[in-house]
Amino acid sequence: MVRTVENGGPTHVRLPGKPAHTVEALRESWRIDDEWWRQPISREYHIVVLDDGRNLTLYHDLLDGTWYAQRG
């Protein structure tokens, strides 16, 4: 689950089975729009710093509205 501010930036993150964390800082954001000729991809990526010091890359699928934590 991701809570956002009005402009769409993440403010709180809760990963499955874990407690919620506050986003302390937004390190970087970018948008990808690709594959329009096959199956469109439209995502906003955000690298955030959580209140426990961890960096986490999130992306928001703009086509279905779902938020994901990138693994790897």
Mention every residue, 6+ apart, whose C-beta is less than 8 A from residue 41: 32, 33, 34, 35, 63
Distance between CA atoms of residues 56 and 40, nearest Å: 25
Q: Stretch 36-63: mean pLDDT, rounded?
A: 94
Q: How confident is residue 38, by pLDDT bands cut at 50, 70 and 90?
A: confident
Tokens of 50: 């959580």
CA angle 17, 19, 20 (to 5 degrees): 120
pLDDT band at 5 (very low <50, low <70, confident <90, very high): confident
**Boundaries of domain holding 42:** 2-69
Which has more confidence, 1 or 48? Answer: 48
Report the number of distinct structural domains present in the chain.
Answer: 1
